[in-house]
Amino acid sequence: MTFSSDPLVKVENLTIFQSGIPILTDINFELEKGEFAFLVGRTGSGKSSLLKTLYADLPLKQGNVEVAGFNLKNLSSSKVPYLRRKLGIVFQDFQLFDDRTVAENLQFVMKATGWTESSKIKNRMTDVLMQVGLGSIPQKYPHQLSGGEQQRVAIARALINEPAMLVADEPTGNLDPEVSEGIFKLFQDINRSGTAILMATHDHNLVKKHPARILKCETGKVIDSSKEDIELNSSF
């Protein structure tokens, strides 16, 4: 007997526009549940635009995209929050509220996504902070934390609703190499526990050191290492 399941992400004939100009054309790829892939490409090549399309921040104009069971073609704005619960999004600049403690940052997302019972909120918060290696900091403010710790909080926030996938846009871009390595290891642990990860990065060393599937934005196309060779020495 063969087992098959739908891919987590299915992209067909996608063209992405910014201000009416096509940035990437005729993109086709799938990501399986639990998969890990890097997204690379020079600055301005379209990585963020592709990620924004997947989390419905950039409207789908041409092509078909399905993410975690949501067809983005006909996705009404009222459905976008439900899509975002299936995706955890992590940014280069952490995007924490500076005037709120770690606990308040996490609670804000929980309340916005339907968590109401304070005991469940507290337990989930403890769990996700443990998962990212931050047991004892819920009452601290972001400015009292190192960059690596702030990114761990942002990752904890992204994990709250047990997403099927983390979409990370240069998550180590603001961090020193050793700290980056620790954050990357955390993504690996999260991936091992079954969460798919699509990570945009400029960090050559990271990609070389940790062989994985690569999607590369180049001259208006997305090249997929699962279908053709990608030259890792070329700049991105």
Ligand X SMILES: Nc1ncnc2c1ncn2[C@@H]1O[C@H](COP(=O)(O)OP(=O)(O)OP(=O)(O)O)[C@@H](O)[C@H]1O
| Location of structure tokens 């871009």 | 173
- Is 23 a residue that touches ligand X (CB under 6 A)? yes
Query: Which residues sit opposite 67 in a β-bridge?
Result: 9, 70
Stretch 137-196 residues interacting with ligand X (CB under 6 A): none
Least Å distance between CB 16 and ligand X?
A: 8
Spell out the alpha helix ranges (H) of the chain. Answer: 47-54, 80-86, 102-112, 118-131, 147-159, 177-192, 204-209
In the bound state with ligand X, the residue whose beta carbon lies nearer, of 58 and 134, is 58
Minimum separation from the CB atom of position 23 to ligand X (A)? 5
Q: For residues 63 and 174, what is the distance between their CA atoms, to the nearest angstrom?
A: 33
Nearer to ligand X among residue 41 and residue 163 (C-beta) = 41
3-state secondary structure of 146: coil
Q: How far is the CB of 10 from ligand X (least distance, A)?
A: 21
SS3 40: strand
Tell me the window of 38-46, 75-83, 140-148, 191-199 that interacts with ligand X (CB under 6 A): 38-46
In one letter, which amino acid is 236? Answer: F
> Minimal CA–CA distance to 54: which of 203, 155, 166, 152?
166
Specify the residue for token string 């993109």.
Answer: 27
Of 2, 4, 43, 76, the one binding ligand X (CB under 6 A) is: 43
Applying CB under 6 A, which part among 16-24, 160-168, 176-184, 208-216 lies near ligand X? 16-24
Q: Contact with ligand X (CB under 6 A): which of 41, 63, 148, 163?
A: 41
Residue type (1 letter), 37: A
Near ligand X by CB under 6 A: residue from 35, 48, 105, 199: 48
Q: Does 74 bind ligand X (CB under 6 A)?
A: no
Interface stretch with ligand X, choices 44-52, 68-76, 176-184, 225-233 (CB under 6 A): 44-52
